[in-house]
Amino acid sequence: GGVGQAAATNQDGTVNSALNPAARESIIVLYATGQGQDLSAVSLTIGGYTAALLYAGPAPGYPGLMQINAQIPGGFLPPGILPVVLSIGSANSQNGVTIAVK
């Protein structure tokens, strides 16, 4: 249904899950579809906080798949199952997609 745990890997290459959460300020890799061709204005929030983007573009070897490498915010970001919102221009990903953060 497109909601729940995002297709994501943690900095160590393991799959992100409630039993294997990513550390704050670590790098996470997310995957998305349906983004279209214009990737000029991409942003990502995790738990309502802006995540620094290291890469947002085509996933090498997988036509139509977008790869997003982002640093999970630190500071006041709480641990837990947090919402992830990918924005491209004025379009946002659907509600209900999450990642696990420790």
Q: Provide the percentage of residues in the chain whose pLDDT is more than 90.
A: 65
What is the residue type of 45? T
Q: Provide the percentage of residues in the chain whose pLDDT is more than 70.
A: 93
pLDDT band for position 46 (50/70/90)? very high
User: Could you write out the DSSP letters of every residue in the chain?
Assistant: ---EE-SEE-TTSPBPBTTBPBPTT-EEEEEE----S--SSEEEEETTEEPEEEEEEEPTT-TT-EEEEEEPP-TTPPSEEEEEEEEETTEEPPTTEEEEE-
pTM, 2 dp: 0.88
